[in-house]
Amino acid sequence: MATEFAPFPPLARLADELSTGKTTSRVLVETALERIGDPAGQGSTVFVQADADAARAAADAHDRLRAAGTVLSPLAGIPVSIKDLFDVKGQVTRASSRVLADAPPARADAPVVARLRNAGAVLIGRTNMSEFAFSGLGLNPHYGTPLSPYRRGEPGEARIAGGSSSGAAASVADGMAAVALSTDTGGSIRIPAAFCGLTGFKPTASRIPREGAVPLSTTLDSFGPIGVSVACCALVDRILAGLEPRVPARRPLEGVRLGVLTHYVTEDVEPSVARALDTALKHLEAAGAILSDVHFAPLDRLPEINRFGFSAMEAYAWHRGHIARQRERYDPRVLARILKGESARATDYLDLIAERAALMKAAEETLWQHFDAIVAPTVPIPPPRVADCDRDDATYARINALVLRNPSTFNVLDACAVSLPCHARGDAPVGLMLAAGPHRDDALLGVALAVERVLDSIR
């Protein structure tokens, strides 16, 4: 049976324990490295590269700084994992693919990595992911498939951690990092957060600088955190955005207007997910939130609008040279998704831009102006078994499309969105997603802090 570890406490508690001398950065880092290196755990699958020596040196430096009275931020001295999509100076950015294995090391940190480092984060290593971030399932034939904590030790019941940031979520769930830097193009932060019982925040795309990372879709890519609480994600988000490292104030739930999205996002919802969401919504209403069902009809056209999609078209433009030279090194399932963009025409791309603009305008008028947050199930199903996802290409494609459907909706709308665990402890993980319009990030996080308090009381 695989060894399972509990997550680290929330960042605020770790910062307090560091400040009072109850622990040290070196102790936190050694704990993370021990778990990564445990042969009975999944560290060798969760991480494509662990930076033990550099992490120890950074931890010791922060302990010396703290002893001298210097603390760079509430994140100082705390281990953070980095998705294998970001440039870290001196390291190869592989995007968990064999295609980039021979690429030269990065000459500089990505801006988001530099901001974490400047805030005192200890970079513990690079996490595994769906190859080139192009899947919601997290399967990787090159480096292995990280697993959700749910039913992991039961024979034949291993569940996917979700993608594309599978290793990022697993690193937090297994206490190999206190928080993870991830990306979200169609749900890659929120899906694994939901499947691993964690919290994940996708900011408005333009809130965070997006240079220094391998792109999937230059239109939809967003960078954000996965953590054990809303406050953890909010703190890291503000550091990534270059803002003061503090958690926004929690908004009282009394009178908060929540629009409960119906139809498109509730089709094919499994009973366990529906029950968990229904229970959560009843408690939120009892706590004073004003709930209203909302049918946003324009979403019903999304499958037609996304016949190609930004990800396929923009990914093909980036990958076409690599495909011409080393097609055989790609995961065939990822390659097939990239090649969907090969036959797209410039008119298809321009039509998609126009359709998206119309959707965003309708959302502003129908959703964002009338509600403080929109509510939907993050994913309509609990984490599937690895064996069920990996059976054949048709099954993979069907489950992948279902898993991506709800979270990707809010990427298209350029919304900010957060996934919160809402299942009862011991049950299959279920995520409740809150979304708000572009550039309402801090306001959404303030609502999410209040929602989290209610959900924690019923979990």
Asked whether the predicted pLDDT for residue 433 surpasses 70, the reply is: yes
User: Is residue 411 within 8 Å of residue 187, measured between CB atoms?
Assistant: yes
User: Is residue 105 within 8 Å of residue 90, measured between CB atoms?
Assistant: yes
Q: Classify 194 as helix, strand or coil.
A: helix
Give the integer Cα–Cα distance in Å for 252 and 449: 9
Give tens-digit pLDDT for 33-55: 999 999 999 999 999 999 999 99
Q: Using CB atoms within 10 A of its CB, is residue 133 exposed (0-12), middle (13-18) or buried (19+)?
A: buried
Give the integer Cα–Cα distance in Å for 226 and 172: 8
Give the integer Cα–Cα distance in Å for 353 and 451: 34
Give tens-digit pLDDT for 240-287: 999 999 999 999 999 999 999 999 999 999 999 999 999 999 999 999
Query: Strand 79-83 relative to strand 179-184: parallel, antiparallel, unpaired?
Result: parallel
Bridge partners of 419?
200, 433
DSSP letters, 259-316, are: EEE-GGGGTT--HHHHHHHHHHHHHHHHTT-EEEEE--GGGGGHHHHTSSHHHHHHHH
Asked whether the predicted pLDDT for residue 15 surpasses 70, the reply is: yes
CA dihedral 443, 273, 264, 259 (to 10 degrees): -30
Asked whether the predicted pLDDT for residue 1 surpasses 70, the reply is: no
Active site residues: 83, 164, 188
**DSSP H or E stretch at residue 375:** strand 373-377
The residue among 373, 266, 353, 275 whose CA lies nearest residue 313 is 353
Bridge partners of 292?
259
**What is the arithmetic mean of pLDDT over 422-451?**
97
Give the integer Cα–Cα distance in Å for 330 and 313: 17
The residue among 14, 410, 457, 4 whose CA lies nearest residue 231 is 14
Give tens-digit pLDDT for 87-111: 999 999 999 999 999 999 999 999 9
Domains of the chain: 11-240 (3.90.1300.10), 257-305+355-458 (3.90.1300.10)
pTM: predicted TM-score of the whole model, two decimal places: 0.98
User: Is residue 203 within 8 Å of residue 237, measured between CB atoms?
Assistant: yes
> Please, which residues have CB within 8 angstroms of residue 240's CB and are 6 or more apart in sequence?
112, 115, 116, 181, 203, 208, 223, 224, 225
User: Is residue 226 within 8 Å of residue 164, measured between CB atoms?
Assistant: no
Ordered strands of the 257-261 beta sheet: 47-50, 122-127, 79-83, 179-184, 222-227, 199-202, 416-421, 431-436, 373-377, 257-261, 290-294
